[in-house]
Amino acid sequence: MSLCDQSTDEESVVSVHLDDDTDDSLHIGDDELTEPLALGTLSIGDYVLVEFEGKKSSLHYVGFVKEKDNSEVFVSFLCRKDSDSSKFFFPQVVDESYVNLADVKMKLPIPRRSGGTARVAEMIEFSDVDFPLFPSLR
């Protein structure tokens, strides 16, 4: 079972930055996905898209930057609500790792709160990101 297959009833408490009034759309060009991301453009508290290369394919994950070093960042990974959703949540079992800066494909915009009930309010949404560009997003 994946860490993301778990229920969101008892999510871990994580300090996150949310923006309820963002109107900027994120437009991603092919050149933006291949250019390396400079460490100076990332800050603690940013959301990022991370790519892990496998033998036959690559997988993408959304993460929250908790620390940064000269060549890597320490990321807490989020789980995607559904395979076609722009909503994410922090899993009950924390999934964190150091990631080489070369594997960070892009900095994501500040997410919005999603929903109104106590359970759904724990979701964060990146409504301005075109996630279908990343079919391997988990």
Confirm whether 93 is domain-assigned.
Answer: yes
Full-model pTM? 0.73
Domain assignment of residue 122, given as a range: 3-133
**Number of neighbouring beta carbons within 10 Å of residue 127:** 13
Q: Which of 5-14, 38-47, 53-62 has the highest mean pLDDT?
A: 53-62
Confirm whether 138 is domain-assigned.
Answer: no
Confirm whether 97 is domain-assigned.
Answer: yes
Number of domains in the chain: 1
Mean pLDDT confidence for 95-106: 94
